[in-house]
Structure 1
Amino acid sequence: MNGKQREWVEAFRSQQDLYRSFGECMLQVLTELLSNRNIPINSITYRVKDVDALAEKLTRPGKDYESLTDVTDLLGLRVVTNFADDVDRVVRIIDRHLDVDPDHSEDKRPYDPHWFGYASVHRVCSLPKAMLERPEYARFAGLRCEIQVRSILQHAWAEIEHDLGYKVAGGIPNSLRRRFSMLAGLLELADDQFMLLRDELTLYSTRVVAQLQRNPEAVALDTISLETFIRNSPVVQKLDEEISEMRGRPLMGPTKAVLEARVEELTYLGVKNIKDLATALEASQELVRSLAHKIYRDDRRRGLPMSRGSCLSLLVQVLIGRLDSLEEVRTLLDRFNIGAPAARDERAILLKEMAQGLMV
Structure 2
Amino acid sequence: MKGKILKDFDIEKSTFNDFEEKIELLILELIKNEKISIHQITGRVKERTSLDKKIDKKDNKYKEISEITDIVGIRIITYLESDVDRIAELINREFKLDVENSIDKRKLRTDQFGYRSLHYVVSCKEERTNLIEYKRFKGLKFEIQIRSILQHAWAEIEHDLGYKGITSIPDAYKRNFNRVAALLESADLEFDRLKKELTKYESEVSQLIKNEPENVPIDQTSLLSLVQSDEVINKAREIISKNVGCSFTKNIDYSSQIELFKNFFNIQTIEDLKKSLSHHEKVYLEFVNELTKPLNYTTLPETLMIFYYQHFLAAFEENQDRVEEYLRLGHMGKENGKFIRLIKIAKTTSNNV
TM over 0.5, shorter chain: yes
Q: CA deviation at 1:248?
A: 0.7
Instruction: Report what 1:89 is aligned to.
Output: 86
Aligned equivalent of 2:312, options 318, 336, 343 = 318
Aligned equivalent of 2:247, options 246, 250, 273 = 250
**Unpaired stretches in structure 2, ≥5 consecutive residues:** none
Instruction: Report what 2:196 is aligned to.
Output: 199
In structure 2, the CA distance between the partners of 1:294 and 1:333, relative to structure 1 (3 Å rule), is farther
Q: CA deviation at 1:309?
A: 4.7
Instruction: Report what 2:293 is aligned to.
Output: 297
Instruction: Check if 1:179 corresponds to 2:179.
Output: no
Runs of 4+ residues over 6 Å off in structure 1: none
Instruction: Check if 1:189 corresponds to 2:186.
Output: yes
Instruction: Check if 1:142 corresponds to 2:122.
Output: no
SS at match of 1:185: helix
Instruction: Report what 1:306 is aligned to.
Output: 300
Instruction: Report what 1:127 is aligned to.
Output: 124
Instruction: Report what 1:351 is aligned to.
Output: 342
In structure 2, the CA distance between the partners of 1:172 and 1:107, relative to structure 1 (3 Å rule), is same
Aligned equivalent of 2:35, options 30, 35, 38 = 38
Instruction: Check if 1:17 corresponds to 2:8.
Output: no
Cα distance in 1 for residues equivalent to 2:154 and 2:231:
49
SS at match of 1:276: helix
Structure 1 letter corresponding to 2:232:
V
**Unpaired stretches in structure 1, ≥5 consecutive residues:** none
Task: Identify the range of structure 1 (53-62 vs 4-13) with the bigger mean alpha-carbon deviation.
Answer: 4-13
In structure 2, the CA distance between the partners of 1:240 and 1:24, relative to structure 1 (3 Å rule), is same
Maintained 8 Å contact 1:320/1:351: no
In structure 2, the CA distance between the partners of 1:177 and 1:107, relative to structure 1 (3 Å rule), is same
Aligned equivalent of 1:275, options 271, 274, 278 = 271
Maintained 8 Å contact 2:154/2:181: yes
Cα distance in 2 for residues equivalent to 1:193 and 1:90:
20
In structure 2, the CA distance between the partners of 1:242 and 1:352, relative to structure 1 (3 Å rule), is closer
Maintained 8 Å contact 2:245/2:296: no
Cα distance in 2 for residues equivalent to 1:108 and 1:31:
23
Structure 1 letter corresponding to 2:280:
S
Aligned residues: 350
Q: CA deviation at 1:323?
A: 5.1
Structure 2 letter corresponding to 1:349:
I
Instruction: Report what 1:5 is aligned to.
Output: 2
Aligned equivalent of 2:327, options 317, 320, 333 = 333
Maintained 8 Å contact 1:110/1:117: no
Q: CA deviation at 1:124?
A: 0.7
Q: CA deviation at 1:81?
A: 1.3
In structure 2, the CA distance between the partners of 1:61 and 1:139, relative to structure 1 (3 Å rule), is closer
Instruction: Report what 1:67 is aligned to.
Output: 64
Instruction: Report what 2:255 is aligned to.
Output: 260
Maintained 8 Å contact 1:236/1:309: no
SS at match of 1:134: coil
Cα distance in 2 for residues equivalent to 1:347 and 1:287:
19
Q: CA deviation at 1:101?
A: 1.0
SS at match of 1:59: helix
Cα distance in 2 for residues equivalent to 1:211 and 1:134:
51
Cα distance in 1 for residues equivalent to 2:317 and 2:294:
27
SS at match of 2:41: strand
In structure 2, the CA distance between the partners of 1:93 and 1:110, relative to structure 1 (3 Å rule), is same
SS at match of 1:176: helix
In structure 2, the CA distance between the partners of 1:352 and 1:242, relative to structure 1 (3 Å rule), is closer
Cα distance in 2 for residues equivalent to 1:292 and 1:319:
12
Instruction: Report what 1:239 is aligned to.
Output: 236
Maintained 8 Å contact 1:288/1:311: no
SS at match of 1:299: coil
Q: CA deviation at 1:165?
A: 1.4
CA-to-aligned-CA distance 1:274-298 (integer Å, 9 cap, x gap): 1111112112223332332333222
Instruction: Report what 2:283 is aligned to.
Output: 287
SS at match of 1:286: helix
Structure 1 letter corresponding to 2:174:
R
- Identity, in percent, stands at 30
**TM value normalised by structure 1:** 0.90
